Amino acid sequence: AWATGHPLTVQLGPGLLGGIYDGLLRPLDEAATFLPPRSLTRPATGRHHFSPDTQPGAELEPGDILGHVTGNGDLSHLVAVPTDVGGRVDGIAAPGWYESSHTIATIDGIDVSLTSEWPIRQPRPYRGRNRERVPFRTGQRVLDVLAPIACGSSATVIGGFGEGKTMLLEHLAKWGDADVIIYVGCGERGNELTDLIEELTQLTDPRTGRRLMERTIILANTSNMPVMAREASIHTAVTVAEFYRDMGHHAVIIADSTSRWAEAQRELASRTGAIPAEEGYPADLPASLAAFYQRAGRVTTLGGRDGTVTIVTSVSPPGGDVTEPVSAHTQRFVQAVWSLDRDLAYARHYPAISWLTSFSRDTDAIAHWQAAHQDPTWATRRSRLHVLLAEADRLQGIADLVGLSALPAEERLTLLTSRLIREALLQQSALSDNDASCAPGKQVALAEAVLTVHDTAMRLSHSGVPASVIEEFDYGPLLRAKDATGPDDASGVSRIASELANSMKTMSS
């Protein structure tokens, strides 16, 4: 072993997108032997086309733009003034192809290249935090409607083996509202991570129609890789995300799973002789989790651009025990908890998100944004759906004891509406081109359709129509609306709901 003389750092620059790296941001093929070179930060290689956006003599501050690199697909790669450099531009390179380590500008006597180094445990500086909460669109109705998060927020998926965590995270990677995707496979089994990488490399980007990997960075740390690299991978991921955030992009980190990251911390703590706390985890585990999730946020960068880092992780509690330390502490620090339900997963209800145990602390802020910008009735609609689902859950236990026919008509119709909410709104098929992702307009239309059917059924019941007649009505058009209409066909859903409501009114005659 030898000392590097500085904290663990990684090299940041053009050419990262589309690559597969280990926890130290070394290309996976070069890191296959797990024998680090003299410098843990791999020397930058490759040629890139640089175009200057400033002139000699200009006065620049940290974060100001020197130029841009082309060849990264539709995503612009901006070359900014380093955070510790500023002053007069003595010289800048002409447009052309340059090596990553080549000097492309000289500022106040300091050479600046296309790449820079940054300590992974030190947050990159910014001008200030932007407090406006803009929804982070996931394309999954159960999340966007009932437990949404904001851009620059944090969320965790908690669930046991076989409940659909990895599949849900893949959907968030493909359909999430982000410019750059950093996927961290932390402590996964090698065959699972290999299958995941193959799937990601074959996915088509819904934004551009090209490969999704063009704007994705994969940090692969299988369970047989060094435990220290696994512990560092989370910090590496958020450092890379902040690097693209400073360009004005919206980056999302998808980490699967932080439970194995915490296990790596526990193993390192035992080797260094640290005093163990709960279940052998180090006493500073809560502080480590808090420091990681606090690096999420929507900020105004040093150069005045708007950028975000959104963090979505998964937690795999042993035996499904959500009171174990990693799950308990994670729920304290994230803004949203998306809890998976084993019964829903075994019933083939996907995404198997429990609407009763999941929650989001961003709900109020997003409701304010929706009221001001897009959908004034968003909060009221969400509240009605939650109340109906919670009431139906209470009534289901009573119905199992005394029978459905013993319940009053209003309560029977509440159970009917709950089933329609689950099957027509919350359930989604990953294999359907029309239903794999859902645009905001269609989400609103489906929710309004279910509530319209509920209100119509209640009016019919109050007018004397028996509950059994209403229950036996054919609600198939509503259940098929999500598949029969396009991903953003809100008008088609509204038309189906209107026709269904008119057909229901004939029951009163």
Per-residue pLDDT of 189-230, as tens digits, reads: 777 788 878 887 788 888 788 888 889 999 988 888 888 888
Cα radius of gyration (the chain): 26
What pLDDT shows up at residue 509?
66
Q: CA-to-CA distance for 318 and 12, rounded, in angstroms?
A: 36
Q: How confident is the model at residue 31 (pLDDT cuts 50, 70, 90)?
A: very low
Q: CA-to-CA distance for 437 and 201, rounded, in angstroms?
A: 19
- Please give the share of the chain, as a percent, with pLDDT higher than 90: 69
pLDDT digits (tens, 9 = 90+) for 173-194: 889 989 999 999 888 777 778 8
pLDDT digits (tens, 9 = 90+) for 160-177: 887 888 889 988 988 998
| Antiparallel, parallel or unpaired: β 9-12 and 116-119 | antiparallel
What pLDDT shows up at residue 167?
86
Q: CA-to-CA distance for 405 and 449, rounded, in angstroms?
A: 26
Dihedral Cα 379, 381, 382, 384, nearest 10 deg: 120
What pLDDT shows up at residue 73?
66
No. of helices (H) and no. of strands (E), the chain: 15, 20
| Helix-strand-coil split of the chain, %, nearest 5 | 40, 20, 40
pLDDT digits (tens, 9 = 90+) for 460-501: 999 999 999 999 999 999 999 999 999 999 999 999 999 999
Section 396-416 average pLDDT: 93
Q: How confident is the model at residue 42 (pLDDT cuts 50, 70, 90)?
A: very low
Q: Which residues does 29 contact at the CB level (< 8 Å), separation at least 6?
A: none
Q: CA-to-CA distance for 484 and 492, rounded, in angstroms?
A: 9
pLDDT digits (tens, 9 = 90+) for 391-400: 999 999 899 9
- On average, the pLDDT of the chain sits at 90
Asked if residues 297 and 140 have their Cβ atoms less than 8 Å apart, the reply is: no
Closest to 148 (Cα-Cα) out of 379, 436, 431: 379
Q: What is the pTM of this model?
A: 0.93
Q: How confident is the model at residue 72 (pLDDT cuts 50, 70, 90)?
A: low
Ranking 112-116, 160-164, 212-216, 247-251 by mean pLDDT, the lowest is: 160-164
Closest to 396 (Cα-Cα) out of 431, 422, 369, 368: 422
